[in-house]
Amino acid sequence: MNTVLSITDARKTLPALVEKVAKTSQQVFLTVNGRVKVALISAEELLLMQETIELLSDTEAMSSIRQGRKEIQHKDIISWDEVKKEIPLLDN
Protein backbone atom coordinates (compact mmCIF):
# COMPACT_ATOMS: atom_id res chain seq x y z
CA MET A 1 0.00 0.00 0.00
CA ASN A 2 1.31 3.43 -0.93
CA THR A 3 1.68 6.23 1.58
CA VAL A 4 0.75 9.88 1.10
CA LEU A 5 2.36 12.43 3.41
CA SER A 6 2.76 16.17 3.55
CA ILE A 7 6.30 17.29 2.93
CA THR A 8 6.32 18.70 6.48
CA ASP A 9 5.50 15.28 7.96
CA ALA A 10 7.98 13.58 5.63
CA ARG A 11 10.83 15.80 6.87
CA LYS A 12 10.29 14.51 10.39
CA THR A 13 10.67 10.85 9.39
CA LEU A 14 12.74 10.99 6.22
CA PRO A 15 15.34 8.36 7.23
CA ALA A 16 12.56 5.91 8.16
CA LEU A 17 10.69 6.67 4.92
CA VAL A 18 13.81 6.03 2.86
CA GLU A 19 14.36 2.73 4.64
CA LYS A 20 10.71 1.72 4.12
CA VAL A 21 10.81 2.53 0.41
CA ALA A 22 14.13 0.74 -0.09
CA LYS A 23 13.01 -2.42 1.74
CA THR A 24 9.42 -2.75 0.55
CA SER A 25 9.44 -1.14 -2.91
CA GLN A 26 6.38 0.83 -1.84
CA GLN A 27 6.05 4.38 -3.05
CA VAL A 28 5.61 7.38 -0.78
CA PHE A 29 3.86 10.36 -2.31
CA LEU A 30 4.68 13.77 -0.87
CA THR A 31 2.24 16.64 -0.95
CA VAL A 32 2.70 20.39 -0.88
CA ASN A 33 -0.39 22.36 0.04
CA GLY A 34 -2.45 19.20 -0.23
CA ARG A 35 -1.37 18.29 -3.77
CA VAL A 36 0.95 15.43 -4.65
CA LYS A 37 4.18 16.88 -5.99
CA VAL A 38 6.76 14.08 -5.85
CA ALA A 39 7.12 10.39 -5.16
CA LEU A 40 9.83 8.48 -3.35
CA ILE A 41 10.58 5.17 -5.04
CA SER A 42 13.43 2.75 -4.53
CA ALA A 43 16.42 3.02 -6.83
CA GLU A 44 15.81 -0.59 -7.87
CA GLU A 45 12.22 0.18 -8.89
CA LEU A 46 13.37 3.22 -10.86
CA LEU A 47 16.00 1.20 -12.72
CA LEU A 48 13.46 -1.53 -13.51
CA MET A 49 11.03 1.07 -14.87
CA GLN A 50 13.75 2.63 -17.00
CA GLU A 51 14.75 -0.77 -18.40
CA THR A 52 11.10 -1.55 -19.16
CA ILE A 53 10.63 1.75 -20.97
CA GLU A 54 13.83 1.14 -22.93
CA LEU A 55 12.69 -2.34 -23.94
CA LEU A 56 9.20 -1.17 -24.90
CA SER A 57 10.78 1.58 -27.02
CA ASP A 58 12.99 -0.90 -28.92
CA THR A 59 10.94 -1.89 -31.96
CA GLU A 60 13.27 -4.74 -32.88
CA ALA A 61 13.12 -6.26 -29.39
CA MET A 62 9.33 -5.90 -29.26
CA SER A 63 9.04 -7.55 -32.67
CA SER A 64 11.13 -10.49 -31.42
CA ILE A 65 8.95 -10.79 -28.33
CA ARG A 66 5.76 -10.80 -30.42
CA GLN A 67 7.28 -13.41 -32.75
CA GLY A 68 8.27 -15.57 -29.79
CA ARG A 69 4.75 -15.39 -28.37
CA LYS A 70 3.32 -16.48 -31.73
CA GLU A 71 5.73 -19.41 -31.84
CA ILE A 72 4.70 -20.48 -28.35
CA GLN A 73 1.00 -20.26 -29.25
CA HIS A 74 1.58 -22.44 -32.31
CA LYS A 75 3.75 -24.87 -30.33
CA ASP A 76 6.65 -24.01 -32.65
CA ILE A 77 9.20 -24.57 -29.90
CA ILE A 78 12.07 -26.93 -29.13
CA SER A 79 12.87 -28.62 -25.85
CA TRP A 80 15.77 -27.69 -23.58
CA ASP A 81 17.39 -31.05 -24.38
CA GLU A 82 17.31 -30.20 -28.08
CA VAL A 83 18.89 -26.82 -27.40
CA LYS A 84 21.69 -28.46 -25.41
CA LYS A 85 22.36 -30.86 -28.30
CA GLU A 86 22.64 -27.96 -30.73
CA ILE A 87 24.93 -25.98 -28.42
CA PRO A 88 27.59 -28.31 -27.01
CA LEU A 89 28.80 -25.75 -24.47
CA LEU A 90 25.55 -26.21 -22.53
CA ASP A 91 26.21 -29.89 -21.77
CA ASN A 92 27.62 -29.13 -18.32
In a domain, 52, yes or no: no
In a domain, 47, yes or no: no
Task: Let me know: does 72 contact 51? Beta carbons within 8 Å.
Answer: no
Q: How many domains does the chain have?
A: 2
In a domain, 32, yes or no: yes
Tell whether 8 and 36 lie within a shared domain: yes
Domain around 12: 3-42
Residue 33's CATH number: 3.40.1620.10
Pairing of strands 35-40, 28-32: antiparallel
Burial degree of 45 (CB within 10 A; 0-12, 13-18, 19+): middle
Q: What is the pLDDT of residue 7?
A: 96
Question: DSSP string covering 42-65, please?
Answer: -HHHHHHHHHHHHHHH-HHHHHHH
Digit-by-digit pLDDT tens for the chain (92 residues) are 789 999 999 999 999 999 999 999 899 999 999 999 999 999 999 999 999 999 999 999 999 999 989 988 888 888 888 888 888 775 55
Tell whether 9 and 36 lie within a shared domain: yes
In a domain, 81, yes or no: yes
Q: What is the pLDDT of residue 86?
A: 83
In a domain, 73, yes or no: yes
